Amino acid sequence: MTRNEYVRHSKEHALSLLKAGRAHEAVAWMMTNMRVSPSFRIPREIHAIGICAAAANDAAGVRAYIEGFV
């Protein structure tokens, strides 16, 4: 599986969790999946955006966090 395929699959699953009202799990899913390989890692500050959005029950913010991965 290429990196793009992996990220796409991760985003699809995270968005399905978000749609089910499970924002915290959606953010956790993306955080976990983006740590699988050193080439996938991003700055911790980016994850803070998702964490804060989930803590505030901000579905639009969580969606933006998830969709921001490329």
Secondary structure of 18-66 in HEC code, one letter for each residue:
HHCCCHHHHHHHHHHHCCCCCCCCCCHHHHHHHHHHHHCCCHHHHHHHH
Split the chain (70 residues) into runs of 10 and give each run's mean pLDDT. Answer: 90 98 97 83 88 97 94
The pLDDT score that the predictor gives to residue 41 is 76
The pLDDT score that the predictor gives to residue 44 is 84
The pLDDT score that the predictor gives to residue 18 is 98
| pTM (two decimals) | 0.89
